[in-house]
């Protein structure tokens, strides 16, 4: 993680170098700690004085009994969310982005896109609400520079699907990116990242014509298609989720 909050979970954003300059090498004795802007947990500065590694903030090791969906995106420590961390934070822009997302056409288009990839019966409004809740918990809206069209792709990675009693094949989505780059690679390197749908039990890719799906604004619009039916029948319910 490249930036953390100084002193408290709501403190100013700082780099590892800025934290060490302000807090000093005896920061633990002083009781001054950096905190993750997403999960609000304490993190540790790493590599500040090393010429061989890029400085960063590290989370603690992932607990063995944690639900993978509850892992912090900023920790970058699990295969499920590898490379989905931010390069920076913009809280004011994040507030505006979330408000824009819940405008009736935008949220209806997002729902249509997600439902198309999950297939009918695998994404109720209640389940979509759970994706929003996780997005709020992980503060993805405040990712510096994240475009509105990227949000639905991220939402799909935050859930488990096909888990009802009538379904025999639970599945989820993962992002396929190059190297260890941050989520910003998705909108900065167009066409080089994909969204892959996999069976949760085996890890094998679900074989459909749209899987994996290139992550791009054009693919988002094409997959969402004509979402007028969503606006007419579910629009108000979706807006109310905001």
Return the minimum-mean-pLDDT range out of 17-26, 70-79, 153-162.
Answer: 70-79
Above pLDDT 90, what percent of the chain? 74
User: Which is higher by pLDDT, 169 or 156?
Assistant: 156
Instruction: Tell which phi-psi region holds residue 12, choosing left (phi > 0), alpha (psi between -120 and 50) or beta.
Output: beta
Euclidean distance between CA atoms 172 and 184, whole angstroms: 21
Express each pLDDT in 103-113 by its tens digit.
999 999 999 99
Phi–psi pair at 134, nearest 5 degrees: -70, -35
- Do the Cβ atoms of 42 and 34 come closer than 8 Å? yes
Instruction: Tell which phi-psi region holds residue 203, choosing left (phi > 0), alpha (psi between -120 and 50) or beta.
Output: left
- What's the confidence (pLDDT) of residue 6? 97
Predicted TM-score of the model (pTM): 0.91
Angle between helices 104-118 and 91-101 (to 10 degrees): 80
Euclidean distance between CA atoms 116 and 123, whole angstroms: 9
Instruction: Count Cα neighbours of 31 within 13 Å in the Cβ-side half-sphere.
Output: 0
Express each pLDDT in 96-151 by its tens digit.
999 999 999 999 999 999 999 998 778 999 999 999 999 999 999 999 999 999 99
Collapsing DSSP to helix, strand or coil, 198 comes out as: strand
Res. 166: pLDDT tops 70: no
Phi–psi pair at 196, nearest 5 degrees: -115, 135
Res. 229: pLDDT tops 80: yes
Q: Which of 191, 186, 238 is nearest to 214 (CA)?
A: 191
Cα–Cα separations (whole angstroms), residue 33 to 5, 28, 75, 86, 138: 9, 7, 17, 20, 20
């Amino acid at each position: 993680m490249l930036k953390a909050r100084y002193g408290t979970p709501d403190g100013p954003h700082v780099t590892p170098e800025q934290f060490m300059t302000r807090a000093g090498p005896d920061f633990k004795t002083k009781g001054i700690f950096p905190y993750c802007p997403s999960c609000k947990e304490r993190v540790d500065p790493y590599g500040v004085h090393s010429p061989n590694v890029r400085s960063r903030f590290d989370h603690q090791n992932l607990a063995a009994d944690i639900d993978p969906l509850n892992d912090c995106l900023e920790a970058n420590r699990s295969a499920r969310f590898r490379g989905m961390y931010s390069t920076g934070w913009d809280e004011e822009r994040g507030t505006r982005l979330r408000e824009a997302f819940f405008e009736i056409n935008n949220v209806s288009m997002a729902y249509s896109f997600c439902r198309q990839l999950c297939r009918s019966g695998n994404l109720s409004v209640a389940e979509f609400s759970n994706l929003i809740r996780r997005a709020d918990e992980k503060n993805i809206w405040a990712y510096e520079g994240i475009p509105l069209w990227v949000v639905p792709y991220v939402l799909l990675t935050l859930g488990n699907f096909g888990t009802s009693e009538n379904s025999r094949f639970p599945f989820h989505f993962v992002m396929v990116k190059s190297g260890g780059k941050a989520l910003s690679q998705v909108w900065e390197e167009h066409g080089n990242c994909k969204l892959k749908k996999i069976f949760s039990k085996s890890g094998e890719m679900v074989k459909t014509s749209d899987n994996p799906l290139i992550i791009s604004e054009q693919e988002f619009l094409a997959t969402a298609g004509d979402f007028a039916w969503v606006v007419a029948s579910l629009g108000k319910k979706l807006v109310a989720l905001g």
